[in-house]
Amino acid sequence: MTASPLHAEIGGIFVAVRDIDAAYRFLEELGVELTSPIQHGHWFTFKDPDGNALMAAKC
């Protein structure tokens, strides 16, 4: 079976938070590698200690 050129392999872990600003500050204070600022007031990305990409999103 041939993979569709439109298919994208996306994987990762999403962390739901109630207060996106507080979550961002908390991880920043812990020295976590933040890989984006808060986007559209709803989400940001960061890396775990092993370098895996993660996302926190306001839910």
Residue 3 has pLDDT above 90, yes or no: no
List of residues 6+ apart from 23 with CB closer than 8 A: 15, 17, 56
Q: Where are the domains of the chain?
A: 13-58
Predicted structure pTM score: 0.79
- The percentage of residues in the chain with a pLDDT greater than 90, rounded to a whole number, is 75
Euclidean distance between CA atoms 6 and 18, whole angstroms: 34
Report the percent of the chain where pLDDT is more than 70.
81
Q: Which fold has domain 13-58?
A: 3.30.720
Query: Is the confidence at residue 55, as pLDDT, over 80?
Result: yes
β-sheet bridge partners, residue 13: 54
